[in-house]
Amino acid sequence: MRLFRKRKKDKTPQAPPRRRVLFVSHEATRTGAPKIILNILKHFSENCDIQCESLLRSGGHLASDFETYSLTDCFNTTNDNQEEIKKRVEAAITREKDNTPVLAVCNSMESRFITAQLSNHGIPCISLVHELPSSYSEEDYQFAFDASEKVIFPAHAVRDAADAKTPLPQGKSVVLSQGLLDPDFGSGISREKAYTQIRKELSLPSDAFIVLGCGTLDLRKGIDHFAAIARKVVETNHSQTPIHFVWVGEGPRWTHSTIHYVQLDVDKSRARDYVHFIGERQNVEPYFAGADTFLMSSRVDPFPCVIHEAMAASLPIIAFANSGGAPEAIDNGAGIIVPYADYDQTANVIKMLAAQPEVAAGLRDRSLERVHTRYRFCDYAEKLIDLGESIIGQRLRHVATIPMAAEPQALSAQPVQTRRAA
């Protein structure tokens, strides 16, 4: 008979579990809002002593990037299925016994139902509201406000519009503009190389003046405005400089879609050889670097990331008044603001910039300087950490963190264990 001695219990003290912070996104597509929360996640993961976890209502191309920096649950559901959202949120919260998440950073109004479930479990939530209220009801806003400890707006115009629709609780709102997502954007390719490369790719004349637009092919982004301004410019341009309009971005292209009719109008006009909807590009930097000006044609756009990219590429920017946060970003000489949907005046500004490079040069210098002083993403993320620490009354940062005066180095966090929801 063999005897087995009972092993002594390991009395080595166990390290306390890491505090859990959740990052919520309604999707993981290559669009502005998911890119913003992904960059916030990266900054928290590098500079805080926490366990980062992401809750994605639906997936997309950036899902694997979320997984690099956090344990990730993709719900693969819609806001209509609130019972499923409730079940999946509860499963995520209770994943670790006796270690409830201490904070959640929830991105966009589209995440409001996940935010509400987190709040019901006593988790303090910071909500980032990028949207203008034309797309949501008073009840939607009240629902989001009630579930949030703090509500962050990217521009005063966005906060004021929200407050006019649904009065904000005193002391709950903060205006904090997100910064340039990639601090190196605009420096990865020389302007001369990009200038030649883009004109060759699109079979444009070597001296073509390019007006760039960027975003989803839809009415909110104003692709019809973009094309109508192009038609006006082509009809009235009497200079020797050909002016071409290039749109980077994709969207529905089926019959009766917005782009179907916009393209139909263009094809019936003199501008048919001057307007180019070239689709999505994984790397948009060369198109910004190789363009001559950026036209923000959106009807409603709270604070688009492409504005920062245009500034970082040192482009003169033209934006409609009363269209969101873009005019706020380029005020005081960093761009030109034109009356909303005024095709004649916008066309005149474009022709002036093409004819007067010295004016364009001044705008280039001011927009580049502003984005690297006023719109630095590391400053934005650091302020969110400050806010989170004040809400929970605990330190989140590592003992030693990067100084506020320096841009973070290229993110190089080691991949952590990831988990996809079934």
Which residue has better confidence, 330 or 3? 330
Q: What residue ranges do the domains of the chain occupy?
A: 20-179+376-392, 191-371
- Give the pLDDT band of residue 129 (cuts 50, 70, 90): very high
Q: What is the 3-state secondary structure (H, E, C) of 44-68?
A: HHHHECCEEEEEECCCCCCHHHHHH
What are the CA-CA distances from residue 228 to residues 208, 213, 358 (Å)?
19, 13, 27
- The mean pLDDT value for 212-226 works out to 96
- The mean pLDDT value for 154-162 works out to 93
Mean pLDDT comparison of 1-15, 287-301, 323-337, highest-scoring range = 287-301
Q: What pLDDT was estimated at residue 31?
A: 85
Which fold would CATH assign to domain 191-371? Rossmann fold (3.40.50)
Q: What pLDDT was estimated at residue 16?
A: 75
Phi and psi at residue 53, in whole multiples of 5°? -135, 135
Q: What pLDDT was estimated at residue 331?
A: 87
- Give the pLDDT band of residue 400 (cuts 50, 70, 90): low
Q: What pLDDT was estimated at residue 17?
A: 86
CB atoms within 10 A of CB 119: 18
DSSP string of 202-269, one letter each residue: TT--TTPEEEEEES-SSTTTTHHHHHHHHHHHHHH--SSS-EEEEEEB----STTSHHHHHHHHHHTS
**Do the first three CATH levels of 20-179+376-392 and 191-371 match, i.e. the same topology?**
yes
Beta strands at 125-128 and 150-153: parallel, antiparallel or unpaired:
parallel
Instruction: Tell me which CATH code domain 20-179+376-392 carries.
Output: 3.40.50.2000
Q: What pLDDT was estimated at residue 167?
A: 92
Q: What pLDDT was estimated at residue 420?
A: 38
Q: What pLDDT was estimated at residue 5?
A: 45
- The mean pLDDT value for 353-364 works out to 95
- Give the pLDDT band of residue 282 (cuts 50, 70, 90): confident
- The mean pLDDT value for 98-112 works out to 96
- How far is 336 from 317, CA to CA, in rounded Å? 6
Q: Bridge partners of 264?
A: none
Q: What pLDDT was estimated at residue 152?
A: 97
- How is residue 17 annotated by DSSP? P
The string of pLDDT tens digits covering residues 14-27 is 667 899 999 999 99
Residue 105 has pLDDT above 50, yes or no: yes
For 52-63, b/e burial (b = at least 16 CB within 10 A) is bbbbbbbbbebb
- From the list 50, 51, 49, 78, the residue with the least C-alpha distance to 419 is 51
**Percent of the chain at pLDDT exceeding 70:** 91
Give residues with Cβ within 8 angstroms of 37, minimum separation 6: 23, 24, 25, 105, 107, 128
Q: pTM of the entire structure? A: 0.84
Q: What pLDDT was estimated at residue 150?
A: 97
- From the list 419, 290, 375, 397, the residue with the least C-alpha distance to 36 is 375
Q: What pLDDT was estimated at residue 32?
A: 87
Q: What pLDDT was estimated at residue 3?
A: 43
Q: What pLDDT was estimated at residue 1?
A: 43
